[in-house]
Every structure is written in C-alpha cells, then in structure tokens.
Structure 1
Amino acid sequence: MLLYAPAALLFLVFCWRMVRERRRFGNAVLLGLAVLCALAAWMYRLVSSGSTAGLVIAATLLALGAVGILVLVGLLFLNGLQMVRKEGRSPSNLLSLMGALCVIGVVALGVTAAVLRTPVLIGVGTAALGLTCYLSFLFLSFVVYAFLYGRMRIRRKADYVVVLGSGLVGGSTVPPLLASRLERAREVHAQLGRRGAAPVLITSGGQGPDEDLPESHAMADYLVERGFPADLIEREDRSTTTEENLRFSKAIMEKTGADYRCVVVTNNYHAFRAALMARRAGVRGQVVGSTTAAYFWPNATIREFVAVLVAYKRTNIAMCLLFVLGGVLAWAAR
C-alpha cells in the first residue's frame, strides 16, 4: 500500500486547497498528479506481480491509450473541419485542427527518430515528446477540473449576479451565445431569490467599434423584454475585456460593502478561466457556466487552455526550456 502513499498525500493536499480556494489552477495540477501517481502505482503492481493476468491488463491499458490518441486525433480533425465550415477560417477557429496536426507531427517525429536513430532526431524527438507529455498532462488536468468546477453547487446567498458580455450581432442584437448566458443568469437569479432577498443583476459589457450601443444595454433590454424586473438590473458599460468586466463590476459591487458575495455567469467552456481571473481581480464569488453548442466546445476549450498557459507563462517557459535542455543532453549523449 505504500506505493499509493504519494497519490493519497497529493489528494489530501488537493482537498485542503479546495476547501480554502476553489479558483486555482494549482488544484487541477494536484488532482492530475494524484491520479497519475495512483495509475503509475497500479501499473507497477500489475507488471511486477509477474502474473499473466496482470501483464494482460497492463498491455490492454497501453493499447487503449494508443487507440485513444488515434481517436482523439480523428475527432479533433473532424471538429476542425466543422468549425471552419460553420464559423469561418479565423485563427481562433483552427485550434482543434492545428491540435490534430501537432499530435500527428509528434508521433511521426518519434517514429522517425526511433527508426533512423540519428543524434539530431533523437534530441529533437526527446524534447518534443517531453513537451507533448507535459502539455497533455496540463490539458487533461484542466479539462477534468474545469468539468468538476462547473458542477459545484452555487452558494446559498449572493448579493449580485454578474453576466459577462461577449459581443453583439449586427451592432445591437444579442447572439445565441450571449443569450444562453442571460438565460442562465435568470435561472441563477431565481434560484437565489427563493433562498432570500433577490440579488441585483449586473450586465457587463461596453460598446465596441462596430456596435450601436453598449453590450450591457442590449443585455438589459433582452432581459426586460422577457419579463425580468428592470429595477433589479444595473449596467456596467465601460468594459471591453473579461478582466475589465470583472474589475468594473467589482467596483459597482463594492459600493454596498466589501463583504458582498456574487455569482458570475459566462459560458461553460469559459467558466474555469473566468474563475481564475476573478480570483486575481479579488472578486468575491464563484463562476457558473451556460450551455454551449457541442461543436463549438472542443475548439473553445483549447483556446481557454492556451490562454491559461499564457497567464502562467513564466512557469511554462521554464518547463519548456528544461525539455529543450533534455533534448540537448539526449543529442550530446549520442
């Protein structure tokens, strides 16, 4: 059982940090490390047992991993084509397609290095494989924890519900993506209202260069037209980014006291990153997500993950340099 001690310790630390603060990317990493250590300990026991059943199970798991990579590449490729067909060829819509091509490239590089065994290819392959494993671990940790975070219960009371803007269509029309946030905000508001005093709903979004009015005004009009009380809506109409959404909304909420509580509403793929930004901005509250079209989710999740990597760029650059150094050492050893 000592083999599972590191996994158990990491899981306990994860639980402790969850109680203190849910909105940390370190929680996702700790949970991923706990699962990885438990899986490694289990595989070691299967292989070291020497039993035929253990070896068969270990081989089956490795085979399933290889098949999973092939399936993932196929799904990413198909999703990339669907995104191009439905959303256009902008760089942000090509992320799933580029992800599939990157996986194919790394696999091809690894196979070529194993066959030719030249020093340069071994060095490059070692660095690429290490970097791929690192990014894959972070991505899986991000996806799993974001899934868990999105299903955490809303706190019993809140003074505000904040809806983050996402742009208008035709200069004044609320698009389906933003409408889903507003409908989710109505649900959250009704849920909180049943537990006590009805919170104030803040629509957050400024006016873009191609918009006829601020997003917050269009969002408020959308809600009022569907029966939401106008006197419970407050407009934050200066922000142009998610960081500004949170910062300017925080300034409004702090007018009633620094001990306010809030629930921030965005789309489900964006909820965890918005929660990370909310913690950094000092916003007192959790983030919940609304549903998103299935075809849009993979590409959007990759975009959110890339944004998180950039937010922690110093750590990730240092790790990348370590893998490059490992590649150089592998080349020099040949």
Structure 2
Amino acid sequence: MLVYAPAALLFLLFCWRMLRESRRFGNAVILGLAAVCGLIAWMSRLLRSGSTTGTVIACALLALGALGILVLTCLLFLNGLRMVRKEGRSPTNLLSLMAALAIVGVIALVVTASLVRSPVLLGAGAAALGLSGYLSFLFLCFVCYAFLYGRLRVRRKAGFVVVLGSGLIGGDTVPPLLASRLDRARSVHAMLSRRGGPPVLITSGGQGPDEKLPESHAMADYLTARGFPAELIEREDRSTTTEENLRFSKAIMERADPGYRCVVVTNNYHAFRAALTARRTGVRGQVVGSPTAAYFWPNATIREFAAVLVAYKRINTAVCLLFVLAGVLVWATR
C-alpha cells in the first residue's frame, strides 16, 4: 500500500489547503497531482501483478484514454463550428475549433516524427508532446476544480450580493447571459434574506463605448422591473473589467461595513477565475455561478483557462521554455 502514499499525502494537503482558502489555483494542481499519482500507482500494481486480468485492465485504460482524446477532438471541432454559426467568427469564438486543430496537429507531428526519425522532427515532436501534456494536465485540473468549487455551499450570512456585468445588447438591453446572473443573484439574495436581514445587492458594470447607459443601471432596471426592491440595490457604474468590478464593489462594501462578507454572482464558466481574482483583490466572499447555454460553455471555459494561464504567466512561461529546451536537446543528441 506504500505505493499509494504520495497520492494520499497530496490529497491530505489538498484538503488542508481547501479548508484554509478555496480560491487558489494551486489547490487544483495539487488535486490533479494526487489523481495522477493514484492512477500511476494503480496501473503499476496492475502491471506488476503479472496476471492477465491486470494487463488487460491496464491496456483497456490506455485505450480508453486514446479514445477519449479522439472523442474530445471531435466534440471540440463540432462545438467550434456551432459557435461560428451562432456567435460569429470573432477570435474568441474560434477557441474550441483551434483547440481541436491543435490536438490534431500535435498527434500528426508526433506520428510523423516517429516514422521519419528526422532529428528536427523528433525534437519538435518531443517539445510539442511535452507542452501539450503540461497544458492538458492544467486544463483538466482547472475544469475539475472549477466544477468542485461551483458545488460549494453558500455561507450562512453575507451582507452583500455582487453581480458582475457582461455587456448589453443594442446598448441598453440585458442579454440572456447577464439575465442568468441576475436571476441567480435574486435567488441567492432571497436565501440570505431568510437566514437574516436582507443584504444589499450591488450591480457592477460601467458604460462601454457602444452602450447607451452603464451596465449596472440596466441590470438594476431589469431587477426592479421584476419586483426586486429598488432600495436594496447599489449601483457600481465605473468598472470595465472583472478586476475593476471587484475592486470598486469592494470599496462600496468597506464604506458601508468594514467587516463585510459577500457573495459574488457570475456565470458558472467564469466563477472559478472570478474567485481567483476576488482573492487577489482582497474581496471577502464566495463566488457562485449561474447556468450557461451548453453550446457556449466549452469555448468560454477555454477562454477562462487561457486567462488563468496569463495570470500565472511567469511560472507557465518558465515551464514551457523547459519543454522547448528539452526538444532542442533531443534534436542536438540525434
């Protein structure tokens, strides 16, 4: 059983860090490492057992992994085409399609390098395989932990509910994506009101260059038109990014109550990154997500993951350069 010790220790470390602070990307990485160590330990035991059953199970797991990559590539490709049809050909709408093409490209490069045995191709294939493995691991960590974070229960008490803006249609109309956030905010507000006094609801969003009014004002109008008390709404109308949403809302909450607690509402695909930003900006509160259209989720999740990579650009750049250097060494030694 000692073979499972690294996985068990990593899982205990994950639990300890979760109890201290759930809004850390490091938690996702540690959970992923625990899962990888546990899987390697299990596979090792199966192969060392020498039994036919163990070998068959190990081979079946490898085949299942290969099939999973194939299915994922097809789903990403189909989702990319659907995004283009529904949302247009902007760069952000092409992310799932580009991810599918990148997977196909890496597989083609590795297969070609193994067949041709060219030093340049072998070096490039080694670097591409390392980079894709690293990014795939981080992406799986991100998706799995974001799913877990989204299932955390809302704290018992909070004096504020903050709704993050996301742009308006036609310059003055709340789109379905933002309406989903506002509807979830109403349900969270009602739940918190039943546990104590009604919290203040902060609509957060400034006015974009193509908008007729600040997002926060349109959001407040949406809520009051559906019976939400206007006296419980505070408008934050200067922000243009998620970080500014949180910083400016934090200032409002600190003026009203220096010891505040809050619940931040956004869409489910954005919740974990918003939580990371909330921790970085010193906002004391949990982030919850609202439902998103299924076809929109894969592309949006890839975009959120890319934003997290940029947020930790120093360490990610260093690791990627190591894989590139490894590819150069493979090329040089051939």
TM-score by length of 2: 0.99
CA deviations over 1:247-290 (Å, ceiling 9, x no partner): 00000000123210000000000000000000000000010000
Deviation at 1:215, TM superposition (A): 0.5
Q: Compute the displacement of 1:118 (Å).
A: 1.1
Gaps of 5+ in 2: none
Equivalences for 1:179-218 in 2 at 5 Å? 179-218=179-218
CA distance in 1, matches of 2:78, 2:36: 29
- Aligned equivalents of 2:169 and 2:257: distance in 1? 36
Look up the equivalent residue of 1:4 and give its one-letter code: Y
Cα distance in 2 for partners of 1:182, 1:312 equals: 30
1:320 lines up with 2:296 in the alignment: no
Instruction: Determine the structure 1 residue equivalent to 2:63.
Output: 63
Partners of 2:39 and 2:202 in 1: how far apart? 45
Structure 1 residue 229, shift from structure 2 partner = 0.5
**d(CA) in 2 for partners of 1:325, 1:208:** 43
CA-to-aligned-CA distance 1:43-67 (integer Å, 9 cap, x gap): 0111111110000000000000011
Q: Secondary structure in 1 aligned to 2:195?
A: coil
Q: Secondary structure at the match of 1:194?
A: helix
State the partner residue of 1:93. Answer: 93
TM-score (norm 1): 0.99
State the partner residue of 1:311. 311
String of CA shifts for 1:120-163, please: whole Å, max 9, x gaps: 11111001000000000000000000000001000000000000
Percent identical residues: 79
**Aligned residue number for residue 292 of structure 1:** 292
Once the two structures are superposed, the pairs formed by residues 41-120 of structure 1 within 5 Å of their partners are 41-120=41-120
> Deviations 1:78-105 (Å, cap 9, x if unpaired)?
0000000000000000000000000000
**Which residue number corresponds to residue 281 of structure 2?**
281
SS at match of 2:4: helix
Q: Distance in 2 between matches of 1:22 and 1:185?
A: 21
Correspondence list, 1:157-172, <5 A: 157-172=157-172
- Please report how far the alpha carbon of residue 333 of structure 1 lies from its aligned counterpart in structure 2 after TM superposition: 1.8
The one-letter code matched in structure 2 to 1:62 is L
Q: CA RMSD in A?
A: 0.5
Instruction: Give how far 1:197 is off.
Output: 0.5
Give yes or no for the alignment of 1:228 onto 2:228: yes
Q: Aligned partner of 1:99: which letter? A: A
* Distance in structure 2 (CA, Å) of the matches to 1:110 and 1:210: 46
- CA–CA distance in structure 1, aligned partners of residues 54 and 306 of structure 2: 38
- Mapped partners of 1:275, 1:258: distance in 2: 20
Q: Tell me which residue corresponds to 1:240.
A: 240
Give the secondary-structure state (helix, strand or coil) at the position aligned to 1:142.
Answer: helix
What is the one-letter code of the residue matched to 2:169?
V
